[in-house]
Each structure stands twice: as C-alpha cells, then as structure tokens.
Structure 1
Amino acid sequence: MVGAKGRMGSHVVDAVNGAQDMQLAFALDAGDDLMRITPENTDVVVEFTVPSVSLDNVLALVKRGVDVVVGTTGWTDERLAKVTAALAEAPRDDQAVFIAPNFAISAVLADYFAKVAAPYFESAEVIELHHPTKVDAPSGTAIHTARAIADARKAAGLGAMPDATETDGGSRGQVVDGVHVHAVRLRGLNAHEEVLLGNAGEQLTIRADSFDRISFMPGVLLAVRKVADGGHAGLTVGLDKFLDL
C-alpha cells in the first residue's frame, strides 16, 4: 500500500488486513522508499496518494515490474499516455496498471446508467459534490461520466445540447466534451454525483452517494483480485471493466 497513512490509504490497509485471501506486504507513505517493492515480495501495489506525486509513483512501480491499482484522481490524457508508454517498456509483457476514477460500486453503476440513458435525452449535465479537502475539481469521476455521456451522444448521432447562455462568469461549470460539469465543495459531504438528463416535459436524475470511505473498499479489493488473477495486461481505466456490465 502506497499512501498508507492517508484518508483512503488507511481504510485500504484495514480492508486488506481483513481479507482472508490477501496479505499486506508493505504500508508505505510519503518519504518511504518505493525501491523496497519488488516482484518477489509484492504482487499488486495499491496507490492512493495525491495527483502531484501519483504519476511518478506509478512510473517507478512499473519499472519495478509490479502491477498497480491506482485510486488517486487527476489523470489527464497526457498522464495516461505516459503510463501506456512506460508499460510498453515494462519488464513483464503481462504487466498491468489499473486506474479507477471511482471505486464505489454505486458511482460506477451511475456512470454506466448515464451512458445508457444519454442518447435518449436532449440535455445532460453533471453535478459532483465532495468534502472541501478534496484537491481536484471537477472530480475524476465526474469527468469520466461526462466523457461517457458525450461518447454515447456522438455514437447516436446527436449534436450539441441546447444552451442559449451568452455570458455566465463561470457559473455554467467546466465543459467536458460538450457536457457541463459543476463542482460543489461543502463541509459535511463525502463523495456524491448527480446526473441530470432532460427532454421537453421530462427529467431523469441518476444519483450516487458515498457517505463513508468504507464504501470504496469492495471496489478496491475487487480490482486487486482481478489484476492479481492476470489477463488485464496494459492500462485499464474504470471499474466497470471488472463488473461484467
């Protein structure tokens, strides 16, 4: 576990220790030496740190020849491309890196349902709500959802969504592939996402709420098991790939 003392990492340590089919090799945090990790003592590394160090951690671990499950957010296309390039030069042909925008099963299903529903609605917007100590906005989950909606609309041959706004001072949120994404940071929240889809005279709301970080642990353990079992060489993004949806 890399990031073992963090808000998420400490829960992962407890989850791994509580799993009968897993054994914790190392619990590392900032300042600890990643070079202690080798294929001989570690099957899968779980990386939950911060965006500013996550890429370097993942690249270093790929060079070490170990598989990695990443929960840190803030992944851009450019950063993902660097991981793909590193895997092409990895010590093992079957080496795997898995990155999850979200490990909560409810959030993954909400993302999937939004993608299924998107072609049937004229308008769609995403609202994500998190605690005020979250360092990135919008969340990786919301960006992933917006891109899924945009891809589904494009595949269905739909054009741009209606929006007569001329000047908004930023209140319309960040636009991700044509989909407006709004971020709320509020004390008392944990991790929440709402997708609004609308037609004339009707609206569909898809909402996922994670009230406690423990809700992410079944998804983390699922990803570790899938990666450890093999058959997922290269870079995989999104827990939906492991849910047989």
Structure 2
Amino acid sequence: MTIRIAIAGARGRMGTAAVKALTEFEDMKVVAALDYKGEGLFVHGESLTDDANGIPVYTNFDLLANETKPDILLELTTPDTVYENMHRAITYGIRPVVGTSGLSIKQIEEITKFANDNQVGGIIAPNFSIGAVLMMKFAAMASRYLGDVEIIESHHDQKIDAPSGTATKTVDMIKEYRKSHIQGHPDEKEHLPGARGASIDGIRLHSVRLPGLLAHQEVLLGSTGELLTIRHDSFDRSCFMPGIVMAIRNVMERNELIYGLEHIIE
C-alpha cells in the first residue's frame, strides 16, 4: 500500500526537507501541496513553476481532497492556519500529522475530540526529533527526584511563537511526575518584568530567539548541592525526518488523535 500525502507548507524549509525525505520511501508518495498561492502551479523545492513534474499546488482544501485523495495531511504551516486545516482534513477522513506549534490547550482538546468522534487517527507533535522526545522523557523522569526545574529553549529568530511547543510539552510531561510547587524565594521580585521568564505550574520557561540557531532546549533540574542538565540540539532539519516518517506510518493504524511523539516511542 502506498501512503498518499498532502503537505501544507511544502515550500518552507521544513516542508522542502520533508518532500525530499518522503520521496525516498517506496510506500509513500507526496500527491499535493496546500498553499496560500500558486493554484495550478507545481512545487519544485522552494519554488513554484509550471513544470508538471512537480507537486501540484492547491489553495482550496476541498478541491485538493477530492482530486488527490490523500491519506495524510502533513501540516507544517503556521499557528494561524493549522487548526482550520486539521479540522478540514478530519472532515474528509484524512489523518493529520502536525508539526506546527502554537495551538492552545483548548484547541488541542477540541480537535482531539473531533478526531476521536470521527475515528480519524492523527498526531500533533511539538517536536519530530527522536532525540528531543527522549530529552523530554528523561527530564520528566528526573523531575520526580529533582523537582525544581527551569527550561531554556532557543530557536531561530523567525520563529513566531514563544515559548516553543517543545517547552510547553516538556512541562506537561514533567507535571505527571513532579509535585506542583512554586520555586525560588517566596519574596522574589522582578525588577525588570519578564526577567524570571514565564511560569507554568511553578516551572520557569525562558525563550531565546537569535539568528544562527535552529532548535535547542536544556532542562535544568536542581537540588541541594547538585544540578542535572539535560540538553538537546537540532543542527539540521534532517533530524526531524525519521520522526515524521514514524508518525505517518503509525497514524495509518490509529483511529484516534494523540498529542506527542513520545506515545509512539517505546
């Protein structure tokens, strides 16, 4: 069986890398690109041309679904379009595999219920890197014993949401192990607003945005007389491709939507 894949965001850096990676697998075929422009044109790398040997571009999801009949929508766009694209995909029985961060907790809950009610498999993965997911799992396990935690996540300066989906997902995973409490001195004061970062369940999150970075995160776990640092660095977008392939194959066997790649990593 060949898995038919439509990609939203196929001309972006992640999308371009995904197209290249997926064409290497005999059981997968990229059949369409969903974009905001270029109807009738074809994707070749990061460019749109009239060369029909490329991937056909659609600006209308209904037309894409009816003409190309994909099994999977690989969603790699931006937070302002991902929810609507997921909803439309599920309506057609197309399984969403989502690497776009920025969805709110409420949106994740709503789209999960919608997918499960329609028995359509899917996955929302804040990070497709296997190493990053292991970093999150290890940090969550360690927080049972070292419960004072701060997270520093660093990304390129074109990332538009902060904190990252990886950082907030890390907190969600840690909350399953760590007893909730407020960290630091009870009379702590910020002389500059934001100096201590954001706070979720008492865990401090700090976001760095600089050119030259890709995706990096370190989790600092402190206790009396010691510090454990768990860090992951992504240096090239190729590191996300094995996770994307794993997710695509996995959701073909599912009839519910899951949040986080850790659910399919043994």
Is TM (by shorter chain) over 0.5? yes
| Alpha-carbon distance in structure 1 between the residues aligned to 2:147 and 2:109 | 33
**AA aligned opposite 1:55:** Y
- CA offsets 1:149-193 (integer angstroms, 9 cap, x no match): 223113xxx643333422242111111122100000011110000
1:195 maps to which residue? 219
Alpha-carbon RMSD: 1.7
Count of aligned positions: 236
Q: 1:127 to 1:117 in 2, by over 3 A?
A: same
Q: Which whole-Å CA distance do the structure 1 matches of 2:251 and 2:240 have between them? A: 17
The alpha-carbon deviation at position 29 of structure 1 amounts to 1.8
Distance between the aligned counterparts of 1:193 and 1:83, measured in 2? Answer: 27
> Which of 18, 28, 37 does residue 12 from structure 1 map onto?
18
Rounded Cα–Cα distance in structure 1 between residues aligned with 2:81 and 2:68: 25
| Corresponding position of 2:207 | 183
Q: Does the CA contact (< 8 Å) of 2:112 and 2:258 recur in 1? A: no
SS at match of 1:23: strand
Query: Aligned partner of 2:81: which letter?
Result: V
Larger Rg: 2
Q: 1:38, 1:66 within 8 Å by CA — same for their partners in 2?
A: no
Partner of 1:175: helix, strand, or coil? Answer: strand
Measured after TM superposition, the shift of residue 74 of structure 1 is 0.6
Distance change in 2, residues 1:117/1:79 (3 Å)? same
Q: Please list the CA deviations of residues 61-89 of structure 1 after superposition, one character each: whole Å capped at 9, or x if unmatched.
A: 11111111000101221111220232255
Q: Which runs of 5+ in 1 are unaligned?
A: none
1:96 corresponds in structure 2 to: 121
User: C-alpha deviations, 1:174-224, integer Å up to 9, x for none?
Assistant: 111221000000111100000000111111000000001111011001100
2:172 is aligned with 1:166: no
Does residue 242 of the first structure (1) align with residue 248 of the second (2)?
no
Residue in structure 2 matched with residue 75 of structure 1 by the alignment = 103
Matched residue of 1:225: which SS?
Answer: helix
Structure whose residues are more often strand by fraction: 2
Q: Identify, as 1 or 2, the structure richer in helix.
A: 1
Rate the CA distance shift 1:199–1:88 in 2: closer, same or farther, 3 A: closer
- Listed as ranges, the matches of 1:1-245 within 5 Å are 1-31=7-37, 32-35=59-62, 36-38=64-66, 41-90=69-118, 93=119, 95-154=120-179, 159-164=181-186, 165-168=188-191, 169-228=193-252, 230=253, 232-244=254-266
Per chain length, whose mean CA-contact separation is higher, i.e. which structure has more relative contact order (CA < 8 Å, sep 6+)?
1
Matching residue's letter, 1:227? V
Counterpart of 1:25 in 2: which secondary structure? strand
Change (3 A) 1:213 1:12: same
Large movers: runs of 4+ above 6 Å: none
**What runs of 5+ residues in structure 2 fail to find an aligned partner?**
1-6, 38-58
- TM score, norm. by length of structure 2: 0.84
- Per-residue displacement from partner, 1:111-133 (whole Å, max 9, x unpaired)? 00000000111411000000000
1:68, 1:98 within 8 Å by CA — same for their partners in 2? yes
Which AA in structure 2 matches 1:24?
Answer: V
SS at match of 1:219: helix
Q: 1:182 is paired with a residue of what secondary structure?
A: strand
1:119 match: secondary structure = coil
| Distance in 1 separating the partners of 2:249 and 2:116 | 23
Are the aligned partners of 1:147 and 1:177 in contact in 2 as well (CA < 8 Å)?
A: no
